[in-house]
Amino acid sequence: MFEPIDPALARRIRMVVFDVDGVMTDGGVYLGATASGESVELKRFDIQDGLGVLMLRNAGLRVAIVTGRVSEAVRIRAGELKVDDLHQDPKADKLNALTEILQRNGIGWDEAAFLGDDLPDLAVLRRVGLPAVVGNATSDARAAAVWAAKKHGGHGAVREFAEALLTARGQWADAVAQYVAEREAGR
Ligand SMILES: [Mg+2]
């Protein structure tokens, strides 16, 4: 079972933002090259995490991904999860990226949640209404958060956060019932 999130805080949230490396993945990257010398970067994503992201969207929350690396793997995964906003910034200037995303969506910092794991996330964690970290976050990131997952990045932390947030908002049970009902109806 996860740590509860304050219900009043949880109900204020309109957008959930995820870091990628160390949050949606375990932080590892597979680097290689094709026979023609083109570099390739692969990442491993967790399927239960992915369903957690879809449940957030089904519950009416907007979902964004803000990452400091640029990779085709993230673009593909963001498409699968139908995230509303994806920003891949090689300079890892996540604060400016998220400022733009929030403004474009008409969402305030106090209405945003962010799940991070390390120093590139600190500035954003210090601004959002619900700063959260994965179970294996670095000590600086953890110190900036009001909620920490038990599970590690790439190994269920995203799902744990999604369930904790929707539970605190009183939406999880209904979201599960709707998910099951849609499949029973064969839609
Ligand atoms: Mg990270």
How many angstroms is it from 8 CA to the middle of ligand 1?
A: 27
- Dist. CA 52–CA 132, nearest whole Å: 15
The predicted pLDDT at position 3 comes to 82
Note the pTM of the prediction, 2 decimals.
0.95
pLDDT value of residue 116: 98
Strand-pairing partners, residue 131, are 114
Residues, Cβ < 5 Å to ion ligand 1: 19, 21-22, 117-118
What's phi and psi for 31, nearest 5 deg?
-110, 135
Q: How far apart are the first and last CA of the chain?
A: 31
CA of 143 to the centre of ligand 1 (A): 15
pLDDT given for residue 187 in this prediction: 59
Distance 59 CA to ligand 1 centre (A): 25
pLDDT, position 108 = 98
- How far apart are the C-alpha atoms of 184 and 22, rounded to whole Å? 35
3.40.50.300, 3.30.70.20, 3.40.50.1000, 3.30.70.360: which CATH number matches 7-184? 3.40.50.1000
Nearest residue to 99 (alpha-carbon basis) of 185, 11, 17, 7: 17
Structure tokens at 97: 């990226």
* CA of residue 185 to ligand 1 center, whole Å: 39
**Of 164, 149, 162, the residue nearest 22 (C-alpha):** 149
Q: What is the pLDDT along the chain (187 residues), one digit of tens a residue?
A: 678 999 999 999 999 999 999 999 999 999 999 999 999 999 999 999 999 999 999 999 999 999 999 999 999 999 999 999 999 988 878 999 999 999 999 999 999 999 999 999 999 999 999 999 999 999 999 999 999 999 999 999 999 999 999 999 999 999 999 999 989 987 5
Q: DSSP of 20-77, one letter per residue?
A: STTTTS-S--EEEE-TTS-EEEE----HHHHHHHHHHHHTT-EEEEEESS--HHHHHH
Residue 23 CA to ligand 1 center (angstroms) comes to 6
Tell me which long-range contacts 178-185 makes (C-beta under 8 A, separation of at least 24).
Answer: 178/58, 179/55, 179/58
- pLDDT at 151 (0 to 100): 98
